Structure 1
Amino acid sequence: MRLSNILTPKLFKNTKFIDKMHYTCPLCKTENKIDANFHVVEYVCKACSNLIDVSKNTSTKVIKKPIESVVLEVGQKGIINEVEYSVVGIIVKKYGSDIFWREYYLKDNKANNAFLSESDGHWVFLQSIHKEDIKRKSWNSRVVEFHLLNYRWYETTECHIHAAAGFFEDRVDFGLSTYREYVNGTQMISEEKSNGETQYFFGQHISKYKVQKAFKIQNLPNYTGIGIVQPYYVNIKQMINIFCVAALLICLLQLYVYTTRTNYPVFEQKIKFEDVKNKEMVSKSFTLSGGSAPLKVKVYSGVDNSWANVQLSLVNESTNEIVYTSKDIEEYHGIEDGEHWSEGNTTEDFNLCGVSSGKYHFLISAEKQPSMETISSNTVSSDNGVTISRDVSGIIDVVNNTTKETVSFGDIKTLEKDSSDMGKLVKQTFPNQNLDSLLNVNPIIQTPSLSVTSDDSSVDIKATWLPVSFWNFTIVLVLMIVFFIACYWGRYLFNVSKWKNSSNSPYPQS
């Protein structure tokens, strides 16, 4: 069994102030005083650690000084919940052979009692409550009710005083005391049974930083484990409220953007490469209205075994903000080992994300692969059955003059190895001849004509104001839900860990 974090004695009673406390130890003659007024029955001499009976002015016993992680001093003042308290006593409790925790006895200026208890770096602020306010069926009941809240029995422990310092208005009881703690979240009821009497205390978690600020101290014990009334790291109820408000605002914003957006093509123009060679063209202006949304840009050029490049700058005419982008258009094809291959495309598109409403224009520049005259050599068969030609890039075109079928080969070796009908026809037409030598005979300079189906002299640019995207809206809501589930599950694991040292845990123990 592990001792719970909070145990509280009944050494103080609320009394009226009678005088400032000045006591001289009868043994070492050290003056002991504190700036608080209440009836003192016993005190511990700060010099010799003798427990002095005030009425007899004699020593009862020598007590150990509280040194185990004690951070407050007798006489130190601090403000908690807007009430100033003085530390009038310090008790170190011990359970078993090596478990200690500290209790600081406080008095306000009206002689009301309060207590600070610290164990493993976790702090609880406690105050006395009336026994009549506690509703329970029996001493062995696992649940008690206080102010309409149920508190579950955490643990029952026995302990004794290990060390003490300060002033006490009741005699210090060094015998065994029995404590029973009942917990509800960050609150607890501590039930103390000693010398045949029972007292109750109501406790609440208090942050170590609040204690540090209240008493203006530099260092406090570090956290170890999970405290008996330690709150979860995230307030689930507050998080639900925040997430609900945030989700509502996101939905309203999405609704506004959706209802104010008009989806239509906003720009379309054919640009000749020669018109923007080594310069930029300023396009006509266009207006975007409504909420922010992607602007989709589509570019097309009839490239054929070549490339083109388009540079676009989207200019906001009101703010002069510029978004720059560049896109390559490439398309290549051919035959290798008798197999047709192709890569690239004559059309490319991309999105400019998060473009807000306003008046815009494009700055456009473009270039294509430089054109050149191609040199080809051709050889025609003696019966005009086959025509073979090779262009400057090394591509071999074979034409069946009878069927008008044309097949292209990457190089001579590919043609020589080809086993298709066209390859067999070439071998039959030019038996035992060196095709490479044949193609180098009678070279003819040819200028390639433009394809009927493609035009690589210009580029077409089209911009479309896209419909409002629900992707960002959806992903944000999904992330909020995932985060909530993770926090909720984390709180469950947190509570399981908090109650693992209790023999009365409401959670299944592994």
Structure 2
Amino acid sequence: MHYTCPVCNTENSRDFMFSIEEYVCKSCSYLIDVEKSFSKKLVKKPIENVVLEVGQKGILDNTEYTVDAIVVRKYGATIYWREYYLKDKKGDDAFLSESDGHWVLLYPIHTEDVKKKSSKIAQLHTRNYRWYETTECSIHAAAGFFEEKLNFNLATYKEYVNGTNMISQEQWGSKNQYFAGKHISKHFIKKSFKLSHMPNYAGIGIVQPYYIDIKQAINILGIAGLLICLLQLYVYTSRTNASVFQDTIKFEDVKNKEMVSKSFTLSGGSAPLKVSAHSEVNNSWANLQLSLVNENTNEAVYTSKDIEEYSGYEDGEVWREGKTTEEFNICGVSPGKYHLVLSAESQQSTGTILTSASDTGLTITKEGSGIVNVLDNSTKQSVSFGDVRTLEKDSSDIGKLVKQVFPNKNLDSLLTINPVIQSSPANVVDESSIDVKVTWLPVSFWNFVIILITMVVFFIICYWGRNVFNISKWSNSSNSPYSKS
């Protein structure tokens, strides 16, 4: 239909044949009464963040709508929101409301469909909606075609909210009308109406959804957790950890050379290779060098590990650091045929050893630097002293034991005169070798547990974040269901 403005003679075209009572001329912006064909008043053009135009088409809920009119409403001195009147080819109405970049799609509903259960609760189709806020507003600007006369007097809007859905009650004078609304993404609006830009978000919309659907997250995490458990069960029942190499290596046997192991085959998925190395070091160190060689590709993974343990006696206290066993993993080893190349070395002894012939089994070691190490072979307790005099003056349990084993003897002279004295009852620790064990670990619960813990923590963060989000959403309402501290 075409309407000629009586003020400026501009033709205003409308796609629909349905009758209207008023329209705002697109050229002069006068509000025109169709029946009387005269101008009622000059109306401001909608320009504040208005992105749609009268006559523009878009598809919402599988229905093509045409923008029939635009109204900018004003609350207070600086708050505006935009309403776009939509109409389909059948003449059914819909409305798009946008405020601070948040969009709501509304449809008119019958007044009798809404039941007031209390002063704060309204019900629509068995679903309860909580009263959010009541706002008084007026029309600030308008454009397009109107099937009812525009009311520029103060109108009252009352919103009820349930998640991403709402009921909007509009009252002006004796007229009372209800709308059912739902959140709609601005990206969907942009795509549907082929827009080049959209208003930016500000704050949280009245029916804006949380960024993550908690119910959907529960389903996804639950199914994922079940699949992970079933996969872990399959791995546990179908595979076993296997020792691929175990041997005691003498340091003398690999001095200035390397030892090559027998070939072994790893099958299944990628998994760690665990290496355990043990040497009875005592105030000394040992070192293991190991290369894992893939015989199919000739690629090698090299690693080195130190084993060291030191102890001593200082300021009346015994101290100890280090350990005689070290473990480490070669991670992500893929299936294939491999062999190991190993070499090892240890700290060379530079002192003399005196071993008592008593049943106590005491070992005293004097290093070239003058440090004296005392080892009780029965308890494996080892203590180091700066020199022989410090040991002779020591009043601790280990010092008393030395005096009992060597009563009235000069230890310094004994160590000088008898550089090495061996006795069969003594339990001397063997520091001449290193024990190496390599285990294939296709079955690991560590990653399984880490993944499950991560999933649980993720869900807890999401659940907590949704609560914070909802508190913030209702912060502008005087009827928030969340207690304000």
With the length of structure 1 as denominator, give the TM-score of the two structures: 0.77
Give the superposition deviation at 1:96. 2.7
Who is 2:47 aligned against? 67
Contact 1:375 1:444 in 2 (8 A): no
Residue of structure 2 aligned with 1:108, choices 85, 88, 109: 88
Between stretches 30-39 and 246-255, larger displacement belongs to 30-39
Aligned: 1:118 with 2:118: no
CA contact (8 A) 2:97 2:105 kept: yes
The structure-2 alpha-carbon separation of the partners of 1:408 and 1:475, relative to structure 1 and needing over 3 Å to count, comes to closer
Q: Distance in 1 between matches of 2:459 and 2:314?
A: 57
3-state SS in 1 of match to 2:288: strand
Alignment of structure 1 residues 293-304 onto 2, 5 Å: 294-304=272-282
In structure 2, give the amino acid aligned to 1:482. Answer: V
CA distance in 2, matches of 1:167, 1:468: 72
Residues 76 and 277 from structure 1, CA distance in 2 versus in 1: closer, same or farther, beyond 3 angstroms?
farther
Distance change in 2, residues 1:197/1:357 (3 Å): same
Distance 2:257 2:446 in 1: 38
1:146 counterpart letter in structure 2: L
Q: Secondary structure at the match of 1:162?
A: strand
1:286-435 matched pairs, under 5 angstroms: 286-288=264-266, 294-317=272-295, 322-333=300-311, 341-353=319-331, 355=333, 359-369=337-347, 392-395=368-371, 409-411=385-387, 414=390
Shift of 1:226: 1.9
The equivalent of 1:83 in structure 2 is 63
**Gaps (5+ residues) in structure 1?**
1-18, 379-387, 399-405
CA distance in 2, matches of 1:171, 1:181: 23
Aligned to 2:455: 480
Name the CA shift for 1:28/1:197 in 2 (closer, same or farther; >3 Å). same
Q: Could you tell me which of 136, 156, 165 is aligned with 2:115?
A: 136
Give the C-alpha shift of residue 170 in structure 1: 2.1
State the match for 2:480 in structure 1.
Answer: 505
Distance 2:110 2:42 in 1: 34
Q: Is the counterpart of residue 92 in structure 1 residue 72 in structure 2?
A: yes
CA deviations over 1:114-168 (Å, ceiling 9, x no partner)? 2110112210011222344x14157x65433333322233333332211111222
Distance (whole Å) between structure 2 residues aligned to residue 297 and residue 137 of structure 1: 72
- Per the TM alignment, residue 172 of structure 1 is displaced from its structure 2 partner at its CA by 1.3
In structure 1, the residue corresponding to 2:292 is in which secondary structure?
Answer: strand
Bigger Cα displacement from structure 2, 363-372 vs 94-103: 363-372
Question: Does the 8 A contact of 2:312 with 2:383 survive in 1?
Answer: no
Residue in 2 that maps onto 1:381? none
Q: 1:141 to 1:346 in 2, by over 3 A?
A: closer
Superposition deviation, residue 336 in structure 1 = 5.0
Find 2:243's aligned residue among 265, 279, 287. 265
Aligned to 2:358: none
* Aligned CA distance change for structure 1 residues 417 and 357 (closer, same or farther; 3 Å): same
Kindly tell me: are residues 395 and 154 of structure 1, through their superposed partners in 2, closer, same or farther at Cα, counting changes over 3 Å?
Answer: closer
Preserved contact between residue 349 and residue 367 of structure 2 (Cα < 8 Å): no
Structure 2 CA distance for partners of 1:109 and 1:321, relative to 1, 3 Å:
farther
Is the contact between residue 266 and residue 463 of structure 1 (CA under 8 Å) also seen in structure 2? yes
Contact 1:261–1:291 (8 Å) recurs in 2: no
What letter is aligned with 1:200? Y
Amino-acid identity (%): 64
Structure 2 counterpart SS, 1:209: helix
SS at 1:171 equivalent? coil
Q: Do residues 494 (structure 1) and 461 (structure 2) align?
A: no
Shift of 1:299: 1.4
Q: Which amino acid aligns with 1:59?
A: S
Counterpart AA for 1:393: S
Contact 1:311 1:365 (C-alpha < 8 Å) held by counterparts:
yes
Q: Is the 8 A contact 1:52 1:59 kept in 2?
A: yes
For 1:151 and 1:414, how far apart are their aligned partners in 2? Answer: 86
Alpha-carbon contact 1:338-1:409 (below 8 Å) kept: no
Quote how far apart the aligned CAs of 1:240 are.
Answer: 0.6
Amino acid in structure 2 at the alignment position of 1:394:
G
SS in 2 for 1:499: helix
Match of 2:180 in 1: 202
Task: Tell me, yes or no, if the aligned pair for 2:275 and 2:329 is still in contact at 8 Å.
Answer: yes
Residues 113 and 444 of structure 1: CA distance in aligned 2, closer, same or farther (over 3 Å): same
Q: Which residue of 2 aligns with 1:186?
A: 164
CA distance 1:39–1:245, change in 2 (3 Å): same
Partner of 2:437: 462
Of the structure 1 ranges 196-205 and 244-253, higher mean CA displacement relative to structure 2 is found in 196-205
The alpha carbon displacement at 1:106 in A equals 1.6
The answer to whether the Cα contact below 8 Å between 2:190 and 2:196 also exists between their aligned partners in 1 is yes
Q: Paired residue for 1:149, among 118, 127, 151?
A: 127
Secondary structure of 1:74 counterpart: coil
Equivalent residue, structure 2, for 1:44: 24
RMSD: 3.9
Alignment coverage as a number of residue pairs? 462
Cα gap change, 1:114 to 1:449, in 2 (>3 Å): farther
Q: Which residue of 2 aligns with 1:127?
A: 107
Alpha-carbon contact 2:116-2:123 (below 8 Å) kept = no
When residues 429 and 276 of structure 1 are mapped into structure 2, their CA distance, relative to the original with a 3 A threshold, is closer
Q: Please, what TM-score do these two structures have when normalized by structure 2?
A: 0.80
